[in-house]
């Protein structure tokens, strides 16, 4: 059964058709890759899926629910979480608080409880701490829980962004170039983590990536974009040997 169903998705910025007539079907539990040359519209598709942009045409359904027109925060609550190409952490907050902020809609207490710290405050904060530490442990960030997010090394910041996305309890996790700027060792480690996360939390992952080693290593299916349109869809080996795809990347 399809978790994400995208039909005829398109958006125009003035005269520019940034994404045109894209169809995407992601099965539950799948690890799906979205690749393409620079400016192909990959991140624009992420922005359309998460409600940052409103599509000009087409429908997006998550688990059968139409999410077009919903705000980013509503879409997050229906079950899509994401990371960003240029890291967007809460820099002046601690690593732990970054994840706890994402638990906002899972562990709730009222404003009055916040003001006067009734006993449920202590209980629920403790529950939040435990949940957050559990997620941080998966990414080997539990040792740096009290650091400011801006003080983490680059690779760990990328991981923290994924941890934060996971904390919102998503059905679908969108990763925008998770391996950008990582060395081969870090990338290999990240691949393991992504697979582990998928299995442990039972979620579906759609990722944008330029590192073909990562893409062929973990993605089960790939969609190639070029100039905002679909170029090819299929299993990695097949798609990457497609002459059209090679031309799009390397030129004639």
Partner 1 sequence: MQNIKSNKNHSAFTKKNLFITAGIILGFFVVMLLAEGSLLNRQYKSLIVPIGIYIILAVSLNLTTGFLGELSLGHAGFMAIGAYTGALITLNLNMPEVAEFIIALIVGGSIAAIFGVLIGVPVLRLKGDYLAIVTLAFNEIIRSIINFLGITGGAMGLSKIPRYTNYVWVYAMVVLTIIIIYNLVNSRHGRAISAIRDNYVAAESIGLKVSKYKVMAFVIAAFFAGIAGVLYGHNLSVLKPADFDYNKSIEILVIVVLGGMGSIRGSIIAAAILTFLPEVLRAADDFRMLLYAVVLIAMMLFNSSGIRTRLEESGKLPKLPKLTRNKAK
Q: Which of 2, 57, 94, 242 binds partner 1 (CB under 8 A)?
A: 94
Contacts of range 226-235, beta carbons closer than 8 Å, 24 or more positions apart: 226/36, 226/37, 226/40, 227/39, 227/40, 227/41, 228/17, 228/18, 228/19, 228/20, 228/22, 228/40, 228/41, 228/44, 229/20, 229/21, 229/22, 230/21, 230/22, 230/23, 231/36
For 146, the token pair is 């009290």
CA distance 149 to 98: 8
The answer to whether the CB of 44 falls within 8 A of the CB of 53 is yes
- The answer to the question of residue 204 lying near partner 1 (CB under 8 A) is no
Choose, by CB under 8 A, the member of 8, 27, 39, 88 that binds partner 1: 88
Closest separation between CB of residue 92 and partner 1, Å? 5
Q: Which stretch binds partner 1 (CB under 8 A): 14-22, 27-35, 124-132, 184-192?
A: 124-132
Our finding on whether 69 is near partner 1 (CB under 8 A) is no
Place of tokens 């998928």: 198
Residue 154 makes contact with partner 1 by CB under 8 A: no
By CB under 8 A, tell whether 111 contacts partner 1: yes
CB of 6 to partner 1, least distance (A): 19
Q: Which residues bind partner 1 (CB under 8 A)?
A: 50, 52, 71-73, 76-77, 81-82, 84, 88-94, 96-97, 100-105, 107-109, 111, 113-119, 121-123, 125-126, 128-129, 133, 142-143, 145-146, 164-165, 167-168
């Amino acid at each position: 059964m399809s978790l994400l169903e995208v039909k005829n998705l398109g958006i125009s910025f003035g005269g520019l058709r940034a994404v045109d007539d894209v169809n995407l079907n992601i099965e539950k539990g799948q690890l799906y890759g979205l690749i393409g040359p620079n400016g192909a519209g990959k991140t624009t598709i992420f922005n359309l899926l998460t409600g940052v942009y409103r599509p000009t045409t087409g429908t997006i359904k998550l688990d059968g629910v139409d999410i077009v027109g919903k705000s980013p925060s509503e879409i997050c609550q229906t079950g899509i979480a994401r990371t960003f190409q240029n890291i967007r952490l809460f820099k002046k907050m601690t690593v732990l608080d970054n994840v706890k902020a994402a638990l906002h809609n899972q562990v709730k207490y009222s404003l009055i409880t916040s003001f006067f710290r009734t006993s449920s405050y202590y209980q629920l904060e403790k529950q939040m701490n435990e949940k957050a530490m559990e997620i941080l442990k998966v990414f080997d960030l539990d040792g740096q829980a009290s650091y400011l997010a801006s003080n983490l090394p680059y690779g760990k910041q990328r991981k923290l962004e994924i941890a934060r996305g996971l904390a919102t309890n998503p059905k679908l996790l969108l990763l925008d170039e998770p391996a950008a700027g990582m060395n081969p060792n870090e990338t290999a480690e990240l691949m393991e983590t992504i697979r582990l996360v998928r299995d442990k939390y039972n979620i579906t992952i759609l990722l944008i990536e330029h590192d073909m080693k990562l893409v062929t290593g973990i993605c089960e299916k790939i969609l190639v974009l070029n100039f905002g349109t679909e170029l090819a869809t299929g299993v990695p080996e097949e798609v990457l040997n497609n002459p059209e795809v090679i031309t799009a990347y390397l030129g004639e």
